[in-house]
Chains A and B, each alone.
Chain A
Amino acid sequence: MNLADFLFYVFAVITLVSAFFVVTFKNIIYSAFSLLLTFLGVAGIYVLLGADFIAIVQVIVYVGGILILILFGVMLTNKIQNVPIKTEASFIIPASITIGAFGGILVSTFINTRWKSMPAELANSTLTDVGHLLMNEYILIFELLGILLLVALVGAASIARKQ
């Protein structure tokens, strides 16, 4: 087992364990901070897969943006501690059927796919390729997403504004 394999298992364990805690913690703040670890673990796995740009955008968007937003929401909401958070199991039979079916599909795909194994190599930065793709092939989608975000921003400002 070389260093990259070892790091992969470390990140995988961090991701899975913290994701489990996100669901099971009774305290919503603890869940939010476990989510931080989950995001970081996923970012680490992206790095090991050679997707450096995605990894860093993952940290910027999820840790720097969404997680902070969640924490803000939780901290600025009055008496959120007293709200009972439901963590017991409910709808056990439909849930287990759905999970079983979904898990079965995943496992069967995993087994039946003929994986192409390649020798590990130091990946080059994906930054230039991502940039070229965004600016050439997917330019329309890219611009549309920009407009979508702008509309969301203007909407947020107009809602927050005092009349």
Chain B
Amino acid sequence: MIYDFFANLFGSDVIASFISGALPVVFIALFTLFAVWLERKVSAHMQDRLGPMRVGWHGWLQTFADILKLIQKEDITASDTDKKLFNIAPVLTFMGSYAAFAAIPFSSAYVGSGIDLGILYIVAVSGLVVAGILMAGWASNNKYSLYGAVRSAAQVISYEIPTVIVILTVVVVIGSLNLTKITEFQTSRFWDWMIFGGSIAGIKKLILLPFMVIGFVILYISSLAETNRTPFDIPEAESELVGGYHTEYSGIKFTMFFLSEYANMFAVSAVASALFFGGYHSPFGYFGNLIGLSWLVPIEQFFWFTIKGAFFVFVQMWLRWTLPRLRVDQLMTLCWKYLIPIAFVNFLIVALIMVL
């Protein structure tokens, strides 16, 4: 819809594609501004502090101040780094996170590309983030960075397996990989969301319900690992590795990694909410339909989508300041010995239920 609007406005497909493709950047930037502030406030209040209070009301302008500071900073490149790769790595990492936004339906009026393989595409492009992180770690020519990068890559690859199995579980029920179709299957009534068994009539819905809850928990745990968040933040464990793969980065390049991390956090939250919590659907019908203003519906949908995404991001922060970090062997044990077998059995049971 938005694409058609711009195409009509400018009369050119190319300009319309560029503008509608650039919209997620604006979203990511604004979201990051908010999320960084939220992260600091959440951490502060969990530790009985107040957090940033000086810049603006309860410090809400603090992130603007930080961004201004980061942009002004001198761009330091250590002398023994591999200059070319060192400079490409932040861009590649951000590219991977940003590419995922192309297939995420923000509302029924805006999805970058409604391809039929949406969810598979998101899984595919997350591989670019791994390549970018490995590049950063290697180019920094620093053992802490390299350790961080290798840990991060090993972790992301391992946790992709349970993620994909859970995604398959949902796809078996819905019968489509298109995120818009997955969202449309879950109607704007919260008991039709996949976490409550989807919009399937009869007893099947009740039987599916517990398995969907298990699936969601596994997906959420592995999404934490895929974004390198605590309790899986060993790639950038401050007490062991200084800062992991972005130890050597400063100024605007560090900001790119930061943006990429928060974009990733929102992307995995958006995928979780699109698969299990009705995506952009409102939990109880639309105000716009009630008063007969149909143009209000997509805006409401965007609102609900952002709220759900932000909520899951908040839960990620909540966990970060609650749980201790896992050791590397515990991390792999959790993935290969618990999550993958449970996800597989869960998948088989759901497939059986759907066949019967």
Contact with B along A125-141 (1 / 0, CB 8 A): 10100000000000000
The count of residues in chain A whose C-beta lies closer than 8 Å to any C-beta of chain B is: 22
A154 and B29 alpha carbons, distance in the complex (Å): 45
Q: Within 8 Å of chain B (Cβ to Cβ): is A14? A: no
Q: Is the CB of A52 within 8 A of B116?
A: yes
Q: Smallest distance from the beta carbon of A26 to chain B beta carbons, Å?
A: 13
A3 to chain B, nearest CB (A): 6
Q: Is A75 an interface residue (CB 8 A)?
A: yes
Taking a contact as CB atoms under 8 Å apart, the answer to whether A56 and B117 are in contact is yes
Shortest C-beta distance, A158 to chain B (Å), equals: 15
- Confirm or deny: B85 has a beta carbon within 8 angstroms of a beta carbon on chain A: yes
- The reply to whether the CB of A76 lies closer than 8 angstroms to some CB of chain B is yes
> In the complex the two chains form, is B126's CB within 8 Å of A64's CB?
yes
Counting CB contacts under 8 A, is B243 at the interface? no
Whether a CB of chain A sits under 8 angstroms from the CB of B146 is: yes
Question: Which stretch of B129-137, B256-264, B289-297, B324-332 is in the interface?
Answer: B129-137
Give the nearest-CB partner of B14 in chain A: A3
Smallest Cβ distance from A65 to chain B, in angstroms? 8
Number of A-B contacts (CB under 8 A): 70
Classify the secondary structure of A's interface with B: helix
Q: Say whether B85 contacts A64, CB under 8 Å.
A: no
Smallest beta-carbon distance B314→chain A, Å = 29
Q: Tell me, yes or no, whether B153 is within 8 Å of chain A by CB.
A: yes
Chain B 79-136 residues near chain A, CB threshold 8 A: 82, 84-85, 88, 115-117, 120-121, 123-128, 130-131, 134-135
In this complex, the interface size class of chain B, counting residues with CB under 8 Å from chain A, is 20 to 34
Chain A residues contacting B177 (CB-CB under 8 Å) are 127
In the complex with contacts A52-B116, A60-B124, A76-B150, A3-B13 CB distance below 8 A? yes
The contact string, 1 if C-beta is below 8 Å from chain B, for chain A 48-87, is 0000110011011001110110011001100000000000
- Which of chain B's residues have a CB closer than 8 A to the CB of A30? 84-85
Contacts of A29 in B (CB 8 A): 82, 85, 138
Q: A75-B134, A75-B138 are in contact. Are A60 and B85 (CB under 8 A)?
A: no
Docked complex Cα distance between A27 and B137 (Å)? 16
* Inter-chain contact B116/A125, CB cutoff 8 Å: yes
Given contacts A56-B124, A60-B124, contact A68 B117 (CB under 8 A): no
What separation, in Å, do the CA atoms of A119 and B354 have in the docked complex?
Answer: 41
Interface: A45 (CB within 8 A)? no
Q: Are B117 and A127 in contact (CB under 8 A)?
A: yes
Distance to closest chain B CB from A49 (angstroms): 15
Q: Which residues does chain A contribute within 8 Å of B233, judged by CB atoms?
A: none
In the assembled complex, the CB of B274 is this many whole angstroms from the nearest CB of chain A, namely 18
Given contacts A3-B13, A63-B127, A68-B131, contact A56 B157 (CB under 8 A): no
Does B160 sit within 8 A of A, measured CB to CB?
yes
- Bound: A74/B14 CA distance, A: 41
Chain A, residues 1-16, CB within 8 Å of chain B (1/0): the string is 0010000000000000
Among B121, B149, B150, B154, point to the contact of A56 (Cβ < 8 A): B121
Q: Select which of B13, B82, B130, B138 is within 8 A of A68 by beta carbon.
A: B130
Cα A74 to Cα B322 with chains together (Å) = 37
Asked if B116 and A127 make an inter-chain contact with CB atoms under 8 angstroms apart, the answer reads: yes
Interface centre among A65, A68, A125 (most CB of B within 10 A): A68
Taking the nearest CB of chain A, how far is it from the CB of B238, in angstroms? 22
In angstroms, Cα B115 to Cα A52, docked, is 9
Of the candidates A33, A56, A64, A76, the one whose C-beta lies within 8 Å of that of B160 is: A64
In the bound complex, CA of A86 to CA of B342 (Å): 48
Contact in complex: B115, A125 (CB < 8 Å): yes
In the complex, what's the smallest C-beta–C-beta distance from B305 to chain A, in angstroms?
24
> Contacts A53-B117, A72-B153 given: A60-B123 contact, CB under 8 Å?
yes
Chain A neighbourhood of B115, CB < 8 A: 52, 125
Chain A residues 145 to 161 lying within 8 A of chain B, measured CB to CB, are none
Once the chains bind, are B160 and A68 in contact (CB under 8 Å)? no
Task: Establish whether residues B124 and A63, one from each chain, have CB atoms under 8 Å apart when the complex forms.
Answer: yes
Contact: B85 with A75, CB < 8 Å?
A: no
A127 to B116, CA, bound (A): 8
A33 / chain B contacts, CB cutoff of 8 Å: 85, 88, 131, 135
By a beta-carbon cutoff of 8 Å, the part of chain A in contact with chain B is 3, 29-30, 33, 36, 52-53, 56-57, 59-60, 63-65, 67-68, 71-72, 75-76, 125, 127
Closest 5 CB pairs of A and B: A64-B127, A125-B116, A59-B124, A60-B124, A63-B127
Known: A36-B131, A65-B127, A71-B131. 18 other contacts (CB 8 A): A3-B13, A29-B82, A33-B88, A53-B117, A56-B120, A56-B121, A57-B124, A59-B125, A60-B123, A60-B124, A63-B131, A64-B127, A67-B127, A68-B153, A68-B157, A72-B154, A125-B116, A127-B116
A-B contact pairs, 10 of them (CB 8 A): A29-B138, A33-B131, A33-B135, A59-B127, A67-B127, A68-B157, A72-B153, A72-B154, A75-B146, A75-B149
